[in-house]
Amino acid sequence: MQDFLNRIEQRALNIGVVGLGYVGLPLAVTFAEAGFKVTGLDVNAQRVDELNARDSYIADVPSAALAAQVEAGRLSATTDPGAIAEMDVVVICVPTPLSKTRDPDVSYILAAAEQVSRHFHPGMLVVMESTTYPGTTEEVLLPTLAVNGAEVGKDFYLAFSPERIDPGNETYTLTNTPKIIGGYTETCGDIASALYRTICEQVHRVSTCRAAEMVKLLENTFRSVNIALVNEVAMMCERLEIDTGEVINAAATKPFGYMAFYPGPGIGGHCIPVDPHYLTWKLRTLNYQARLVELASEINAAMPEHVVRLVVDALNEHSKSAKGSRILVLGVAYKRDIDDVRESPALDIIRLLQARGAEVDYADPYVPSVSESLAAAMSSVDGVPGICAGYDCVVVCTDHTEFDWAAIIDAAPLIIDTRNVTAGREDPHIVRL
């Protein structure tokens, strides 16, 4: 153990990052900036080529920062899993999606674990950052790694450290967001903590990998439940003819016992729409139904349908049918000022409007084209706000700061606002969530 700690201090370790997406690429660059030699491993050859060409494909990682580490010889990438044999540390940052039945898909974790096992050598530290259900590290990863009688905590080290990447967040980054570490043994936790202290200002230890896995699910389930609550409050306020934003802002003046959440067209990104399902699935295997968590997911998943109903009702009030109407969706990224469309509710809204016969366009300065979950690929239209006048309805799905909201509100003949960008305006052509 002490030798490993000394090598951390001396930056004499080769670190491998498996999976070079929104989590893996920032992590690889940050470890390289801390002085380690880092090799990124990904099955996507295009990502590997772009990294080696010093070109960042993740908005949160400036190309200049990536290029500096590549040019210094501290960072490189490969598609060859054989490189794992030269790594002292392997951090697994692969996707953990849901299956079509909304069950956890751990196939990417298994594939990564099998590659590590195939090229295993004594003394390795393996850390998993991919979000998953409590017990995955112990039940799935450990048996794959414990080959030829290798003993965890002695022959190799194993830990779980949930990623806390928030795309587009310039205030809380990888380095100043506290890092959760759960080691399989005390020694595993000590070594993993020492490693992450080289890049994170604060490390918080928990007792087990299982506890660390649960931390991540609690964080995002907390958000899912509270978003569902405020989404339901918005539907209540609609029926009570009360301004939802006014109520939330007034409640937020209370300095204790309340945290403001805001309604929206649904939830997006990889975490909040997915993570609660990992938790409820695991609990079902233990004969327990997480009723509140499941209900929150149902409410949030139903929000795109609710938004479409608002559009249809508003068009009817203007003596128009959804069928044949020209509708402009503003923003398809799942949140403000990023290019990430994973699980974006805007795509569901587009699909549902198209199913009702509407002619739908979208505009998003961060997303030039999109095909995910749509019947056909679409490209962003230019000319906002001027073009808004040519549509029967404008639906605000993402409140990008690049949009001139005042001009859009003035130009649109009818606007469905799911992000409260029209706050303070009481024009008759505005319908707020």
Query: Would you give the DSSP letter of residue 430?
Result: E
Contacts of 9 (CB under 8 A, 6+ apart): none
Residue type, 319: S
Q: What CA–CA distance (Å, rounded) separates 399 from 418?
A: 9
Rounded Cα gap, residues 213 and 230, in angstroms? 27
Q: Which of 188, 200, 237, 271 is catalytic?
A: 271
Query: Exposed, middle or buried by CB within 10 Å (0-12, 13-18, 19+), for 247?
Result: middle
In sequence order, what DSSP letters do the residues of 293-304 get, joined into one string?
HHHHHHHHHTHH
Judge contact between 330 and 398, C-beta under 8 A.
Answer: yes
Encoding tokens for residue 213? Answer: 């896995």
Give the span between the Cα atoms of 422 and 432, in whole angstroms: 8
CA distance 363 to 63: 26
Burial classification of residue 122, based on how many CB atoms lie within 10 Å of its CB (0-12 exposed, 13-18 middle, 19 or more buried): exposed
77 membership: H or E segment, kind and range: strand 75-78
| 302/294 Cα distance (integer angstroms) | 12
The yes-or-no answer on residue 209 being catalytic is no
CA 319 to chain centre: 40
Contact 421, 388 (CB under 8 A): no
- In three-state secondary structure terms, 360 is strand
Alpha carbon distance 221, 219 (integer Å): 6
List helix spans (H) across 136-201: 136, 142-145, 186-196
Cα distances (angstroms) measured from residue 239 to each of 236, 245, 248, 421, 424: 5, 14, 16, 21, 20
Q: Contact at 8 Å (CB) between 86 and 48?
A: no
The gap between the terminal CA atoms of the chain, to the nearest Å, is 56
Q: Which residues are identified as catalytic? A: 271
